[in-house]
Chain A
Amino acid sequence: MADRITLQIARYRPEQESEATFDEFDVPCPKDWVILDGLNHVKDQLDGTLAYRWSCRMGICGSCGMTVNGEPKLTCATFLHEYAPGPIRVEPLRNFPVIRDLIVDIGDFMRKLVTVKPWVVRDEERPLAAGEFRQTPDEMDEYKQYSMCINCMLCYSACPIYGLDPKFLGPAAIALAQRYNLDNRDQGSGERMEVLSEHEGIWGCTFVGECTKVCPKHVDPAGAIQRYKLTAALESMKSFFLPRGA
């Protein structure tokens, strides 16, 4: 195995250039180095002006998502040696406006996320004295998979629908809405339905399925969306045949 590997890193310096360019860096390639280690090496040793996001280094914070050889990846969970002998092309996440180098503007996702109310909604808050909400393991299993989402936005980067129609609510926001819809402590599914059942909500999805393939936490947003389509269709049938809500 080669002990070094070339990183081709996308650079975008808005004060100097109007298009992205690529810089090449030769970095060490020990077996335990991930792409993020390579980027940190570049930043520390070769070019301190390189801009990218990272925090936890362990697949929890969801900050270091980038496009690696055309695929959306968490760079902290993608080993350099998997791409030997290289070169490795590192670009910012697709489908988002680029602010600088490998940093994208995530504001669109953040604004969409709050519209689906990703928290436990109660008709009436229970007093603290009433104690905790009890939940059985079966009840928790209903939503646990969707709760693993770390908001890394790899799914948005992989979704061609979001790329073509930026108004689309997107995979992670819908999966997180389902995380709360399927939680038996939650009573907000009716409020979320208004946002989710819009054209730019679940019906924007054509089930390409790439979001599920690239998800580093196995959340399966595509499954969540299709499940919700079934729920929404049943609900609208119910309201059509039983207008008084029998």
Chain B
Amino acid sequence: MQAMHHGDLYTDYHPRWLRRHVSTYWWLEKRSYFAFILRESTCLFVAWFAVYLLLLIAAVVDGPDAYARFLAWSASPWMIVLNIVSFALMVFHAITFFDAAPQALVVHLGHTRVPGPVVLIGHYAAWVVASAAVIWLLTRAS
């Protein structure tokens, strides 16, 4: 072994340091890494629903003909498949997002910290309330 005078061996760029590079397929190495990538990529489908909603609004604004065309387009088999897949992945996205929420959101009531499960239940309760409000709006209109 070489003598270690002048700190020669202890630099960041020492050629004998063994540096291993992360594989491009690191997300396939562990189930939890894969679940993370899946969770992150489902946001594309959430974005698709936002775009779909904007297209719906644009069609409604353009009048009855445009709306009828939008409905016909939405009824095509590939759109139905896309929307079913998107819905399933969006539910997955919502559930994994809610599961992560108690870790990020620390709520205090007075001096006591609201326990994580309560924060989680709060999210689901808000989901139920929002869904009920939408259903109420839809059924009231018809």
Inter-chain CA distance A163–B21, complex, in Å, is 8
A209 with B12, Cβ < 8 A, contacts A138-B111, A164-B22 known: no
Inter-chain CA distance A15–B18, complex, in Å, is 12
Contacts across chains A and B counted by CB atoms under 8 Å? 64
Choice from A12, A213, A220, A229 contacting B18 with Cβ under 8 Å: A12
Residues of A within 8 A of B27 (CB): 160
- Cβ of B105 and Cβ of A19 under 8 Å apart? no
Inter-chain CA distance A164–B104, complex, in Å, is 24
Q: Tell me the residues in window 22-76 of chain B with beta carbons closer than 8 Å to chain A beta carbons.
A: 22, 26-27, 29-30, 32-33, 36, 40
- Cβ of A227 and Cβ of B106 under 8 Å apart? yes
State the majority secondary structure of interface residues on B.
Answer: loop
- Cβ of B1 and Cβ of A15 under 8 Å apart? yes
- Cβ of A208 and Cβ of B18 under 8 Å apart? no
Q: How many residues of B contact A (CB 8 A)?
A: 24
- Cβ of A220 and Cβ of B26 under 8 Å apart? no
Q: How many residues of A contact B (CB 8 A)?
A: 33
Inter-chain CA distance A206–B40, complex, in Å, is 9
A109 on interface, CB distance cutoff 8 Å: no
- Cβ of B33 and Cβ of A223 under 8 Å apart? no
A14 with B18, Cβ < 8 A, contacts A229-B104, A230-B104 known: yes
Choice from A12, A19, A209, A227 contacting B100 with Cβ under 8 Å: A209
List chain B positions with a Cβ less than 8 A from chain A: 1-2, 12, 16-20, 22, 26-27, 29-30, 32-33, 36, 40, 100, 103-106, 111, 113
The 7 A-B residue pairs with the shortest CB-CB distance in the complex, in nearest-first order:
A226-B104, A14-B16, A98-B18, A97-B17, A223-B103, A163-B22, A208-B36
